[in-house]
Amino acid sequence: MAIEVLDPIVANQIAAGEVVNRPASVVKELLENAVDAAATRVQLVVRDAGKALIQVSDNGCGMSREDAKKCFLPHATSKIRTSDDLSRLQTMGFRGEALSSIAAIAQVELKTKRAEDETGTRVVIEGGIVREVSDAVCQEGTTISVKNIFYNTPARRNFLKSDQIETNHISEEFTRVAIANASTAFTLIVNDKAVHRLTSGNLKKRLVELFGNSLSQRLLPVSEEVDLVSISGFVASAESARRNKSSQYFFVNGRYMRNPYFANAVERAYENLIPEKTYPAFFLFLTLPPENIDVNIHPTKTEVKFLDERIIYSVLHAAVKKSIGQYRLAGELDFSKRTIEFPVVTSSTPLPTPPRVNFDPSFNPFDTPKTDAAFTEAGAYVQHTLFESERSSSACVMPKEEGAKTDSRIVESRSSDSQEETLGEKAQTEKAFMQIANKYIAVRSKDCILLIDQHRASKQIVFEHILSGESLQSVSQRMLMAQKHFFSPTVSFQLVEFLPVLKRYGIEMEYDKEDGSFLLHSKPVRQTADECFEFAQRMIEEGVERMQESDSENLRAETLAEKYAVRSGEVLSTAEMQTLVSQLFCLRNCVRTFGGEKIILKLTRDDLDKLFEG
């Protein structure tokens, strides 16, 4: 096979893949360039998750006409001159690769002007080919618009994930650069909506703007300087540990890095202070001589190697431990009240505890069971005999929809003239249900006894309800007083659209346009409000779509089922037992749980006879 030298344009397209693999990588490169140009104000505009448009405008130093033409050439950089510079600058990602890569796979327009120039320059470049260089009327600084990313490499374009996921990545890159440069003002506009307007300030203020008050009130400063490295920033107090690692940020010499090894040093400082499988949030800056950083890193990777890793590990560990110890009780914010615009209800604000609702308000015994539900013979029988008399009693037949709203404590909702009859029935029902050892429910049936494991039954009910997309009303209760919560603007912005999904998990929230908060109206009985907020946050962070992939949905349903289910040891009222049993017999699988555990035992007369033999 003859060897051919690749057409430089094709070669560049291939190389571009190293730097640009999704819209978020363009965002990262453009934002960093703006910061490198000493901009004090930077605006990012994104349309259609960056697939249609990514535009970064800055008020930085701008470029001369010559530089504006040159900057798209491969290896064009104003930041490295000699190979000495190389070791000093490579950690900052200066390779002169970004703009040439971006121009290779998109339609790019650059407008730029330096302070000393009369007119600015406009360069249009598409798929690596310069289309136009002309005068431009523009302000001092640079605006780069990247349109139709991967328009000439459809295979790559097809690899892009949903808008939701790509937008999450963009938002994350924005957040990283914004944290690393707190004195620069940043704006993020997604599909014409302003998601962030971050004003210039210190790190703490920046964190408040990005993550909301509740986290930032619990930030502990970290500051340590040794010969090898200096460490500064904040760690979150133990109480605000979260169930995921999404708020863990390291920056090395001003750039974001991922470093699980160092993260472990921080996490270990919290040992015995936070529950297992929860993680502290942190925002830590390491500054060290570039010679001590391994420069041999991949352009898109955010991992960095250090020469003295173990020493840095212990310095970091000690520094964080010291902060936790010193500042645990300190809490006052150190900047003007200006950014706190709204009263915030945090988990520590005392709120009246809502009374426990002991009865499922949506339960309607007159509902005909789903036709596809597989009934066991005995189950069907129980269902039938228990509720038969009620079905025929006209006094209590309510329209189905109304039934859910009305107080459905069947007995109490009856009209007075049927009171006596009702009481009789009630007594009968009570006899039919019996709780044994606060663990099993015994149900008397025609000539058998059904024994039901209350925890397993409830678990299977929750599990099937989640999977079938029914809202978890059976475990959800309305709160006496709605609880208010502020999510970070990025999360809020996406959450609004996913409130219906949350409802399926028994969490009913409402967005308050006035102040941008969310009001929690209903929540699963066994979940705290904080857990609901955390769940919502995780849903957005993990990407709603991934959550709905069938594998993880099953897993989630299993976890939630364990969590929400009635526990063994819990005392149940007759009404609760009745609800549970009735729901159980409407399930697809009411005999065994999703994990294969037995839910029901049937003791027939024969079984009893056998037990009494001998």
Q: Given the rule CB under 5 A, which residues bind Mg ion?
A: 33, 98
Residue 471 engages ligand ADP in binding (rule: CB under 6 A): no
Is 92 within 8 Å of 302 (Cβ atoms)? Answer: no
Of 489, 452, 469, 431, the residue nearest 566 (C-alpha): 452
Q: How many residues does the chain have?
A: 614
As measured in angstroms, the least distance from the Cβ of 142 to ligand ADP is 4
Selected from 22, 95, 169, 455, the binder of ligand ADP by CB under 6 A is 95
**Judged by CB under 6 A, which of 53, 99, 190, 198 binds ligand ADP?**
99
Kind and range of the H or E run holding 598: none
Alpha helices in 433-481 (DSSP H): 454-467
Rounded CA Rg of the chain: 31
The string of DSSP letters for 90-128 reads: GGGT-SS-HHHHHHHSSEEEEEEE-TT-SSEEEEEEETT
- C-alpha to C-alpha distance for 111 and 140, rounded to whole angstroms: 10
Residue 146: CB minimum distance to ligand ADP, A: 12
Candidates 20-28, 95-103, 211-219, 555-563 — which segment interacts with ligand ADP by CB under 6 A?
95-103
- Does position 63 interact with ligand ADP (CB under 6 A)? The reply is yes
Residue 96 binds which of ligand ADP, Mg ion, none (CB < 5-8 A, kind-dependent)? ligand ADP
Cα of 319 vs its chain's centroid, Å: 29
* Interaction between residue 78 and ligand ADP (CB under 6 A): yes
Which stretch in 55-63, 485-493, 514-522, 556-564 sits in contact with ligand ADP by CB under 6 A?
A: 55-63
Pairing of strands 41-47, 185-190: parallel
Nearer CB in complex with Mg ion: 33/429? 33
186 versus 585: smaller Cβ distance to Mg ion: 186
> Which string of x and - marks every residue 112-151 that binds ligand ADP (by CB under 6 A)?
------------------------------x---------
* Nearest alpha carbon to residue 128 among 63, 50, 75, 72: 72
HSE-up of residue 361 (Cα within 13 Å, Cβ side) = 16
Which of 60, 201, 361, 379 forms a contact with ligand ADP (CB under 6 A)? 60
Residue 300 touches ligand ADP, criterion: CB under 6 A: no
Does position 28 interact with ligand ADP (CB under 6 A)? The reply is no
Which partner in ligand ADP, Mg ion, none is near 78 (CB below 5 to 8 A by kind)?
A: ligand ADP
- Give the nearest distance from C-beta 351 to ligand ADP in angstroms: 48
Q: Is 58 in the site for ligand ADP (CB under 6 A)?
A: yes
Neighbouring-strand partners of residue 251 = 256, 285
| d(C-alpha 16, C-alpha 21), whole Å | 8
187 binds, among Mg ion, ligand ADP, none (CB under 5 to 8 A by kind): none
Q: Which is nearer to ligand ADP, 72 or 440 (CB)?
A: 72
Comparison of 94 and 487: residue with beta carbon closer to Mg ion: 94
Of residues 185 and 586, the one with the C-beta less far from ligand ADP: 185
> Closest Cα partner for 144 from 152, 156, 136?
136
CA distance 280 to 247: 8
Least Å distance between CB 120 and ligand ADP?
Answer: 12
Q: β-strand 293-294 against 440-444: which pairing, if any? A: unpaired
Element (H, E) at 292: none
Least distance (Å) from Mg ion to the CB of residue 30?
8
Question: Residue 368 corresponds to which tokens in the numbers above?
Answer: 């005909």
Query: Encoding tokens for residue 370?
Result: 């789903």
- For residues 409 to 448, the per-residue mask of contacts with ligand ADP, x marking binding by CB under 6 A and - elsewhere, is ----------------------------------------
The residue type at 357: V
Both tokens of residue 426? 């009630």
Sign of the dihedral through C-alpha 319, 203, 45, 511: positive
Query: Does 229 participate in binding ligand ADP (rule CB under 6 A)?
Result: no
Choose from ligand ADP, Mg ion, none: what does 63 bind? Cβ within 5-8 Å by kind.
ligand ADP
In the complex, least distance from residue 122 CB atom to ligand ADP, rounded to whole angstroms? 14
Q: Which residues bind ligand ADP (CB under 6 A)?
A: 29, 33-34, 36-37, 58, 60-63, 71, 76-79, 94-99, 142
